[in-house]
Chain A
Amino acid sequence: MKTYIQVFLTFARNSLVRDLSFRTNFLLQCVTSISWAIMNWAFFKIIFAQGKNIAIGKGTGWTENEFFIFLGTVWIINAIVQTFFMPNAQEFSELIRTGNLDFALLKPIDTQFLVSFPRLNWASLANFFLGIVVVVFYANALMHDAVNPLSLSVFQVLSYIVFIGAGVVIMYSVMISLAATSVWLGRNQNLYMIWFYLTNFYRYPMEIYQRGVIGWGLWGFFSFVVPVLVVANVPARTLAQPLRESGGNRWENWLILLLFTMALVSLWVSRRVFRWALSSYRSASS
């Protein structure tokens, strides 16, 4: 275990040294991701300003402030994924294509670990902090709500953090499994696109899917097959408690169970897929 921590810290350190040696690039990346987040926030602000009729929250139980906690949570998770996993998943595809995965296979350490963490994109962490600011700001607003104030315990805040952790595990597993398919596809430049399409569905409260055949179909698929829907939903509703007025939702606890089950299952599946991919790996010309 000590080895793994040391190796991880060395990766983190080396990536930071590397990122900082390209100073302008680093700053630009920070600015870009922060600008994206602000535009994202402004977009929903405008939607909510249109009146409740077209609001995301209509009929779903999520009010404006609650929804922004959800949004902040999505930013936090996205930032973690983009800092730790995105560059590595892309690099992993590239390692397979060029045959440089050879070197990872030589090392006396778990190969999945070794290809999952070598590059950390520190600039993406900007949104992580911005997400925290948003979540804290809107949680505070909800706690001072005149009509229906929110009460938060330390336990709930801790749960929120643990749930985010479990959500991140799911995102990691989906991503590394997708990247591993490069072994069979030879080239997988679609990775980013597929990822983008999939994660588009996790950015909204699950209530918006719970209507009609297509909606429920999507809900089922993204809850049980590619379980990205629970990733942001479970932590966000723990904190924002959108349905507290009506006495909560009876499947709240089931969702938590689903989150942890899916985190374990998807991690296990990702390891199977990874090993399977390695056994089909054929390296590339010298």
Chain B
Amino acid sequence: MSIIELNDLCKTYKVYQKKEGLRQSVAGLFRREYRDVNAVRGVNLKVEEGEFVAFLGPNGAGKTTTLKLLSGVINPTSGEAKVMGFVPWKRDNDYRRQFALVMGQKNQLWWDLPAQESFRLHQHIYQIPANQFQKTQDELTELLDVKRLLNQPVRELSLGERMKMELIAALLHSPRVLFLDEPTIGLDVVAQHNIQQFLKYYQQERKITILLTSHYMQDIEALCERVVIIAAGTIQYDGSLRGILNRFSNVKRVTFQLAEGQSFEALDRFAPIEELQEPKVQFRVPRSDVPKLLSGMLDAKRVVDVTVEDPPLEEIIAELFTQAAKNQKDSSPEWLGGN
């Protein structure tokens, strides 16, 4: 049995449509217009124990809503979900003892107190035995290198340090399933890297199941084998990161470095040029045209070096998102008038 299972999960929010201007605002006191926002529409997903899965999608795609549904924070409009055999929104204590949610944009630690105090509160809430608590806390603070900051008020910590503390707070009770919602948002490269390293190590060590959402491709490349692309509330792709390239990209970038004295004129007879910076020239061609381009160039020019690459992942994903947004606009939800 899969540890996480979602069947046709849907969440629709009713949003008050505020109109511009004072007159409309006053009118809004008496008669309000609502719009249905389909944050999640019919998501089906299965995750096996020990997987590290990334949720990728543009803002408003439904990633966070899905994580909130799985955490039992909100109720779905329709559909089913089971995590470790529990229905999340029933908020069974046995379920809540076994998972954690970390949100990069929100903090749950007591702002004016040292993180240590919040950790102790978690110890009591989760009923963690004292020796186990101490051991886990020591281990986590050591791994994340924040031991010396335990007694400093949270408000005086840097964003990166605070995020580390948030992670520790979430992991003190050794959850089997971890939901991470943009855990590296706003962090500098070093802090990002630290957190990635930590997550990677911790996941491999403990074999826990992690669902991660992030906008940073590096996070995903470093951590996840499996990527689920979600846009407009539905799953657009589910597979390996590399698989995205095979499925959505039909083009290659071919770069030649020419020997000295070679002419760079009229090179575009071989293929459309993407970039020309002597002594290098880069073409963008359909995959099937690569052999033809190679033989043509090698015959005509003295070539020092050749590279054939996939276009950057960001580019493909950005295209995918744009496409999904377009599709969503075409099937835009109907307006609901009045109360």
Known A286-B103, A286-B182: A105·B91 in contact at CB below 8 Å: yes
Known A106-B100, A286-B182: A17·B68 in contact at CB below 8 Å: no
A153 within 8 A of B: no
B94, closest chain A residue (CB): A108
Q: How far is the CB of A106 from chain B (nearest CB, A)?
A: 6
Question: Contact string, B115-152, partner A, CB cutoff 8 A, digits 1/0?
Answer: 00100110011110000000000000000000000000
A5, closest chain B residue (CB): B124
Contacting residue for B74 out of A11, A22, A283, CB 8 A: A283
Q: Are A109 and B125 in contact (CB under 8 A)?
A: yes
Q: How far is the CB of A257 from chain B (nearest CB, A)?
A: 36
Q: Are B75 and A286 in contact (CB under 8 A)?
A: no
Q: Interface stretch among B104-112, B194-202, B239-247, B315-323?
A: B104-112
Interface centre among B71, B74, B96, B124 (most CB of A within 10 A): B124
B73 within 8 A of A: yes
B254 within 8 A of A: no
Q: Are B64 and A14 in contact (CB under 8 A)?
A: no
Known A3-B125, A21-B112: A286·B64 in contact at CB below 8 Å: yes
Contacting residue for B96 out of A11, A108, A283, A286, CB 8 A: A108
Q: Are B13 and A10 in contact (CB under 8 A)?
A: no
Q: Are A10 and B72 in contact (CB under 8 A)?
A: no
A286, closest chain B residue (CB): B64
Q: How many contacting A-B pairs (Cβ < 8 A)?
A: 77
Q: Are B117 and A17 in contact (CB under 8 A)?
A: yes
Q: Are B105 and A108 in contact (CB under 8 A)?
A: no
Q: Are A18 and B110 in contact (CB under 8 A)?
A: yes
Q: Are B74 and A281 in contact (CB under 8 A)?
A: yes
Q: Interface stretch among A78-86, A95-103, A142-150, A197-205?
A: A95-103
Q: Are A102 and B113 in contact (CB under 8 A)?
A: no
Interface centre among A3, A102, A286 (most CB of B within 10 A): A286
Q: Are B120 and A105 in contact (CB under 8 A)?
A: no
Q: Are A108 and B75 in contact (CB under 8 A)?
A: no
Q: Are B106 and A286 in contact (CB under 8 A)?
A: yes
Known A10-B124, A21-B112: A102·B117 in contact at CB below 8 Å: no
Q: How far is the CB of A134 from chain B (nearest CB, A)?
A: 33
B5 within 8 A of A: no
User: What is the interface residue range for chain A against chain B?
Assistant: 20 to 34
Q: Are A108 and B126 in contact (CB under 8 A)?
A: yes
Contacts of B108 in A (CB 8 A): 100, 103
Contacts of B97 in A (CB 8 A): 108
Known A106-B73, A108-B126: A286·B181 in contact at CB below 8 Å: yes
Q: Are A106 and B101 in contact (CB under 8 A)?
A: yes
Known A102-B103, A286-B64: A109·B93 in contact at CB below 8 Å: yes
B111, closest chain A residue (CB): A18
Known A3-B124, A14-B113, A107-B125: A279·B73 in contact at CB below 8 Å: no
Contacts of A103 in B (CB 8 A): 106, 108
Q: Are A102 and B124 in contact (CB under 8 A)?
A: no
Q: Are A106 and B117 in contact (CB under 8 A)?
A: no
A6 within 8 A of B: yes
User: What is the interface residue range for chain B against chain A?
Assistant: 20 to 34
Q: How far is the CB of A66 from chain B (nearest CB, A)?
A: 44
Known A6-B124, A10-B120, A102-B106: A283·B68 in contact at CB below 8 Å: yes
Query: How far apart sit A180 and B99, CA to CA, in the bound complex (Å)?
Result: 26
Q: Are A108 and B106 in contact (CB under 8 A)?
A: no
Query: How far apart sit A105 and B97, CA to CA, in the bound complex (Å)?
Result: 12
Contacts of B93 in A (CB 8 A): 108-109
Q: How far is the CB of B206 from chain A (nearest CB, A)?
A: 19
Contacts of B73 in A (CB 8 A): 101-102, 105-106, 281, 283
Question: Contact string, B228-257, partner A, CB cutoff 8 A, digits 1/0?
Answer: 000000000000000000000000000000
Query: How far apart sit A125 and B266, CA to CA, in the bound complex (Å)?
Result: 87
Question: Contact string, B177-212, partner A, CB cutoff 8 A, digits 1/0?
Answer: 000011000000000000000000000000000000
Q: How far is the CB of A175 from chain B (nearest CB, A)?
A: 23
Interface residues of A in 1-24 (CB under 8 A from B): 3, 6-7, 10-11, 14, 17-18, 21-22
Contacting residue for A102 out of B71, B94, B110, B112, CB 8 A: B71
Known A14-B117, A102-B68: A279·B105 in contact at CB below 8 Å: no
Known A18-B112, A282-B13, A283-B73: A102·B101 in contact at CB below 8 Å: yes
> Could you list some 29 contacts between A and B, CB below 8 A?
A3-B125, A6-B124, A7-B124, A10-B117, A10-B120, A14-B110, A14-B117, A18-B110, A18-B112, A21-B112, A21-B153, A22-B112, A102-B101, A102-B103, A105-B71, A105-B72, A106-B73, A106-B96, A106-B99, A106-B100, A107-B96, A108-B96, A109-B125, A114-B125, A279-B75, A281-B73, A282-B13, A286-B64, A286-B182
Closest 5 CB pairs of A and B: A108-B96, A103-B108, A108-B93, A286-B64, A6-B124
Which residues of A are in contact with B by a Cβ distance under 8 Å?
3, 6-7, 10-11, 14, 17-18, 21-22, 98-103, 105-109, 111, 114, 279, 281-283, 285-286
Task: Known pairs A7-B124, A108-B125; list 17 more (Cβ under 8 Å).
Answer: A7-B121, A10-B121, A14-B113, A100-B106, A102-B106, A105-B73, A106-B72, A106-B73, A108-B93, A108-B96, A108-B126, A109-B93, A281-B73, A286-B104, A286-B105, A286-B181, A286-B182
